[in-house]
């Protein structure tokens, strides 16, 4: 199996800046990614769930990917993953191919989420066409395991088939199941043979104990310094219990106010001076009253929340 250890670490499931007209704010995208780079992120996932990926057309997504890659002009080592999965096989192939042509390190692909009772045979055929057609040698593919939204989980059987059929391309998954048992089971089953990004901040230490390669989380938009503290400590055989505790408290708070993109955009504006970026319908912006309520609660309950 080809090694992709350089992809390990802390990744933000980055929000997508959107202007008042509802269009991507392209000039703000590399600036925001540079902010993440200075706060401990090794890289970012562009156009994931938090990035409102499914709300953009394929053409818009390609332009957003092109804007994001400009981060490399200032931070050349910043790693980029793109969310390229759609229910359309053709669109997913085109987006995946474009991501690698633009210079992305890897892609994170949702399963085709319209039909809920997909057989492993059908899912394997779908991914096989994408990988055969759109992924070059050296390109890394991760499945996006978020069954609460897609209704299509990645079973261990399908993961084994994809890994065995495409050992130099299908590398692992982003686990956003929020299930501690799954994090333990997948680590016990695959060990280091499958790279797993934890999508749940409150489970980050547990995931690392079970062979996770890093994390891709929404909270990294705000709490990447704590995620990096947990990551760095673990690399030295240690635990940062204080940072992990702050992550758990933050995650508990954020989970009370879904969906998260409006919340993260409001808090980034309030705490770090970014424009008050909009969201795409069907999402709606957070009211100022709700923002102040959440912020007051966070500042009381979570140490260093505003840092």
Catalytically active residues are 49, 114, 144, 174
Q: How far apart are CA 175 and CA 166, in angstroms?
A: 20
Classify residue 221 as exposed, middle or buried by CB count within 10 Å of its CB (0-12, 13-18, 19+): buried
> Looking up tokens 């970014």, which residue turns up?
274
Angle at 293 between CA 289 and CA 294, to 5 degrees: 120
Q: How far apart are CA 61 and CA 65, in angstroms?
A: 6
What are the structure tokens assigned to 229, written together? 């503290």
Q: Give phi and psi for 26, each to the nearest 5.
A: -60, -35
The strand pairing partners of 18, in sequence order, are: 24
What Rg do the C-alpha atoms of the chain give, in angstroms?
Answer: 18
Is it true that the peptide bond before 282 is cis, omega within 30 degrees of 0? yes
């Amino acid at each position: 199996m080809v090694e992709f250890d350089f992809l390990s670490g802390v990744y933000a499931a980055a929000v997508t800046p959107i202007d008042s007209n509802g269009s991507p704010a392209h000039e703000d995208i590399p600036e925001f990614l540079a902010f993440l780079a200075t706060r401990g992120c090794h890289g970012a996932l562009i156009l994931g769930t938090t990035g409102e990926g499914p709300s953009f057309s394929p053409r818009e997504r390609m332009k957003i990917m092109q804007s994001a890659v400009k981060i490399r002009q200032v931070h050349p080592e910043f790693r980029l993953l793109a969310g390229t999965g759609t229910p359309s096989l053709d669109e997913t192939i085109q987006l995946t191919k474009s991501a690698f042509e633009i210079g992305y390190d890897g892609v994170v692909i949702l399963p085709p989420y319209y039909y809920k009772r997909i057989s492993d045979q059908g899912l394997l055929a779908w991914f096989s066409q994408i990988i055969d057609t759109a992924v070059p040698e050296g390109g890394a593919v991760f499945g996006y395991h978020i069954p609460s939204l897609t209704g299509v989980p990645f079973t261990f059987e399908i993961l084994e088939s994809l890994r065995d059929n495409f050992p130099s391309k299908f590398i692992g998954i982003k686990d956003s199941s929020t299930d501690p048992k799954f994090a333990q089971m997948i680590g016990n089953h695959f060990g280091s043979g499958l790279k797993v990004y934890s999508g749940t901040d409150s489970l980050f230490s547990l995931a690392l104990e079970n062979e996770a390669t890093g994390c891709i989380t929404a909270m990294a938009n705000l709490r990447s310094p704590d995620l990096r503290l947990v990551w760095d400590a673990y690399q030295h055989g240690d635990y940062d219990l204080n940072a992990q505790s702050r992550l758990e408290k933050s995650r508990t708070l954020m989970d009370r106010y879904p969906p998260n993109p409006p919340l993260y955009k409001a808090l980034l504006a309030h705490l770090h001076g970014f424009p008050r970026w909009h969201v795409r319908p069907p999402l709606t912006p957070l009211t100022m009253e709700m923002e102040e309520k959440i912020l007051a609660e966070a500042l009381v309950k979570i140490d260093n929340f505003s840092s």
